[in-house]
Every structure is written in structure tokens, then in C-alpha cells.
Amino acid sequence: MPEAINPAFRRAVIALSGGPTDAAIVRLALEVARPNRAELIAVHVVELDWTQPLDADVAERSEEAQRVLDAAEGIADQLHCKIESVLVQARDVGAAIVDEAAARRADLLILGLSYRTRFGGDFAIGRTIPYALKNAPCAVWVLRQPKGEEPQ
């Protein structure tokens, strides 16, 4: 008989994209973390292209990123929980999230997936989630937005 899946974890990295799934993954993580008093780290990555140095001052994008992290902290406050927020500038979102999970010794990485389709109607998963599924040193949870809630 297969072993039961235990959702308990001690430290999780929550990858925030600024998209419609952010609030749902933060709430899920907080609810599952609460009984075990697990540590939660919300990470938002500002992706820089190769023409910019990694320490570039991207104030306009950083303000939006800070709003994403503030929203996660607001949800945590509403639920009377604590969440650490981290802003990262990197060339690749997937690699940065996986690196953060490894550096934090997380035993869980949580990502959200918007329900999107490409031209022609095929479901689009992007590059970040496949990268995380392949390379994360820990368990990975992906919460997909319900079909029919696709952004306009």
C-alpha cells in the first residue's frame, strides 16, 4: 500500500509572479504551515535581460514587485501569520526560484500557474514551472488557476 502523502513541511518558498494565483498560493501555504509553525518565504523575481547588470536599479519594476510582496504580507496579517518576503533580481525566474529554495534549505516550493492558452487554443505552461519541477531540490506544489478564469 502506498504511503500517505503528508503535507507537513518546515520551510517553504512561495514563488509569486504578480499574477492571479498569488493570493491562492499564499493562503494555501499559510493554512498548511500554521499547524506545524512552518517558516514561509515569499519570493518575487524581477527578471533582467542581458543588456542590464544584475544590480541595475529598476525602480519602476521594483515598485510593482514590492506591491506583490506587500499583498502577500497583507494576506498573512489577515490570517495572523508571519511570512518573510524576498525580492530577487535575476536573468531567469525559474533558476532564481530554485536557487532560493536551495539556499533556504526549503523542503517545499509552491508555484501558481495561470490558466492560459496560446494562439490556437493549446494550454501554455511556460518555462518556469517545468524548470522548477525538473531542478528543485525539494517537493514542488503547483496550484493551477481554474479553467475559465483565464485573464483577458
Least confident of 10-19, 32-41, 68-77, 116-125: 116-125
Can you give the pLDDT at residue 152? 44
- Give a yes or no: residue 29 inside a domain: yes
Q: What is the CATH number of the domain that holds 126?
A: 3.40.50.620
Can you give the pLDDT at residue 119? 67
Residues 6+ apart with CB under 8 A from 60: none
Is residue 115 predicted with pLDDT exceeding 90? no
Global pTM?
A: 0.84
Q: Render pLDDT for 19-66 as a digit per residue (tens, 0 to 9).
A: 989 999 999 999 999 888 899 999 999 887 766 656 666 655 678 888
**Using an 8 Å Cβ cutoff, are 97 and 141 in contact?**
no
C-alpha grid cell for residue 97? 526560484
**Using an 8 Å Cβ cutoff, are 12 and 38 in contact?**
yes
Number of structural domains found in the chain: 1
- Distance separating alpha carbons of residues 68 and 49, to the nearest angstrom: 21
Q: Render pLDDT for 118-152 as a digit per residue (tens, 0 to 9).
A: 666 677 788 999 999 999 999 999 998 887 655 54
- Give a yes or no: residue 39 inside a domain: yes
- Give a yes or no: residue 152 inside a domain: no
Averaged pLDDT for residues 82-106: 94
The residue among 51 and 13 whose pLDDT is bigger is 13
> Residue 37's domain spans which residues?
11-144
- Give a yes or no: residue 41 inside a domain: yes
- Give a yes or no: residue 150 inside a domain: no
- Give a yes or no: residue 6 inside a domain: no
**Using an 8 Å Cβ cutoff, are 91 and 120 in contact?**
no
- Give a yes or no: residue 37 inside a domain: yes
Please report, for residues 16, 83, 109, the alpha-carbon distance to residue 75 in angstroms, rounded to integers and kept in the order given.
13, 9, 19
